[in-house]
Structure 1
Amino acid sequence: MAAIALVTTDMSTIEFDDPDLEPIHAALVAAGHDTVQANWLDESVDWSAFDLAVIRCPWDYMSRVEEFLAWLDRVETLTTLWNPPAFIRWNLDKTYLLTLDHLGVPVVPTLVAASVDEVGEAIAAVVDTGFDNLVVKPTVSAGSKDTGLFSADDPAAVKLAEHIVAMGKQVIVQPAIPSVAEVGEQALMFFNGEFSHAFNKGPLLAHGGGLLSGDEYVEQLSLATPTVDELDVAHRVLDAVRSVAPGLEGRFPLYARIDLVATDEGPLLLEAEMFEPSYNVWLADGLVERFVAAVESVLG
């Protein structure tokens, strides 16, 4: 039996729940592990009392990134964290997409801008490649926070970029892949490098900014069967990550969600979520047990 912490936050302070948290907690307890949900902001938590801390849903980190990174620095000296802190620091910033693209992974074209002028240049570059629509988002974000879908000539795109820059963040500009607005994204979930399950995430962004669901973040999810090409790209992503990302020491991440989009040329990587993704283990029987088995394998 191991003492395990599932790293959370005060869930009453954020805009959405974590549907994975309770199933994972219950399954780890059922497997005989002394498991608690521990708020990363709770200074009374004795992290050294745990054999393992698994990052689950510290989803308010976006508004206090430096504080969260300092927490990682402190807690990694007290217990074992998965995914590893150095790896989380790398994956937290979406500029990792540039690294994976350089390694030959098929990635949605990604431009990074540090100023509003550079955003204008990035938008022009997207138009030059034949796309009329684009997505603007921060390099550090989750839950589609400060993310918008716009026509390339929509002033709202630049306004959102100005807001992101004013927060001290860099801006990502990507062409809007048409299939995302039609059928959404395909998310492939891996535990310790082994494929577990896939699900489709329906279209989320409203054209012109905001969410299709209005002010509330609502995902439309359904189990999916990945294609051979999707599995191939996902494995290429994981192999590239394992070869270049810090903290893994040649291992696979405990958990990794590979979000792909369909194009005529084949699947492209939109994001590789390996910090605090939703697994959606509640979608089918047996999925949470796969995660428990992965946790037990890193416990040794």
Structure 2
Amino acid sequence: MTTIALVTAIAATGHDEDLPPLLAACERAGLSARALAWDDASVGWNRVDAAVLRSPWDYTERLPEFMAWCERTAHSALLLNPLPVIRWNTDKHYLADLAALGVPVVPTEFVEPDTEPMEALQRFLALHDAGEFVVKPAVSAGARDTQRYQRSQEFAAGNHLARLLDANRSAMLQPYLPAVDADGETALIHIDGHYSHAIRKGALLKTGDAPPPDPHALGDIRGREPAEDERQLASQALAAATRLLKLESPLLYARVDLLRGPDGAPRLLELELTEPSLFFAQAPEAADLLAQALRARLADGTVRTRTDIG
């Protein structure tokens, strides 16, 4: 029988609420699936036929090690989403790629480690008149090392930015869009290339003098029916990623996180293709959709052809 790993991390044990319903859905679909941590040295990954990334959430602090694991695993198992997607999507510089293709993204300035932090921050503030802004690393998951600041907190924000750059981490500066406080984010989940469901995520970030949020916290999550312009933007972002990465088959899963800008139009905040929460609690049938999509991929002979290696 084909062996499927739903890939998590030792540090994420007990935090992935999607795993129990997905394991149950795989069983209903006749699939042999187990939750396995990518960093568990006791796992023999050469005995796994398919590895579906679900919650390897500590990769942001161990990216070279994690990518080396992905490279090895992709040579012996069907890695989903595929390796080229993971390479691209684990660093939020992908937002610049999508913006270059015409996708409306939240305005983002990237700051590289060799940059003087205060000069970069002051240039950003001169270009954007937002009352608040966000500093975060370009490689991040959840709200880890991410903070919201008022313009009057320039010194604190500059220190935050300097800490990231001194650790040889690229950083991002973005205006804080006030719509999130009133309306939250809209996250649209797609399975096997088709829209499945959407949720509303309440605001997590407090101002810079507040403690940072728990990186595992999901916040206030509720089901939401997305507006038509949000569905159109999600489709546009996924189509652009498909063209950019030259994908020949739909992504097994994707989550498109949107916020509304000052003009009321939706903007892409993140395109989550590596390890997103899929919020099966708000749409229980979606776990079965994912299991059925996985079963179809395993049945079409791709397990041993390894077409995901790139």
Same fold (TM over 0.5): yes
Partner of 2:303: none
Q: Which amino acid aligns with 1:171?
A: A
Q: Which moved more, 1:262-271 or 1:19-28?
A: 262-271
Q: Which amino acid aligns with 1:41?
A: D
> The residue matched to 1:204 in structure 2 has which SS?
coil
Q: Which amino acid aligns with 1:230?
A: E
Partner of 2:280: 281
Contact in 2 for aligned 1:5/1:37 (Cα 8 Å): yes
Partner of 1:173: 173
Structure 2 residue 34 is matched with structure 1 residue 36: yes
Contact in 1 for aligned 2:186/2:199 (Cα 8 Å): yes
Q: Matched residues in 1 for 2:229 and 2:26: separation?
A: 33
Q: Which of 240, 258, 261 in structure 2 is aligned with 1:260?
A: 258
Contact in 1 for aligned 2:12/2:55 (Cα 8 Å): no
Partner of 1:53: 51
With the length of structure 2 as denominator, give the TM-score of the two structures: 0.89
Sort the Cα spacing of 1:109 and 1:169 in 2 relative to 1 into closer, same or farther, 3 A.
same
> 5+ unaligned residues in a row in structure 2: which ranges?
301-310
Q: Matched residues in 2 for 1:244 and 1:285: separation?
A: 32
With the length of structure 1 as denominator, give the TM-score of the two structures: 0.92
Q: Matched residues in 1 for 2:21 and 2:290: separation?
A: 11
Contact in 1 for aligned 2:4/2:51 (Cα 8 Å): yes
Query: What is the deviation of 1:129?
Result: 3.0
Query: What is the deviation of 1:156?
Result: 1.6
Structure 2 residue 109 is matched with structure 1 residue 111: yes
Contact in 2 for aligned 1:147/1:209 (Cα 8 Å): no
Q: Matched residues in 2 for 1:100 and 1:188: separation?
A: 17
> 5+ unaligned residues in a row in structure 1: which ranges?
none
Partner of 2:223: 223
Q: Which moved more, 1:28-37 or 1:102-111?
A: 28-37
Partner of 2:244: 244
Partner of 1:291: 290
Q: Deviations over 1:98-154 (max 9, x none)?
A: 000000001011110014525633443344332121111000000100001101231
Contact in 2 for aligned 1:97/1:107 (Cα 8 Å): yes
Q: Matched residues in 2 for 1:187 and 1:215: separation?
A: 18
Q: Which amino acid aligns with 2:31?
A: H
> The residue matched to 2:281 in structure 1 has which SS?
helix
Query: What is the deviation of 1:214?
Result: 7.1
Partner of 2:98: 100
Structure 2 residue 208 is matched with structure 1 residue 200: no
Q: Which amino acid aligns with 2:296?
A: S
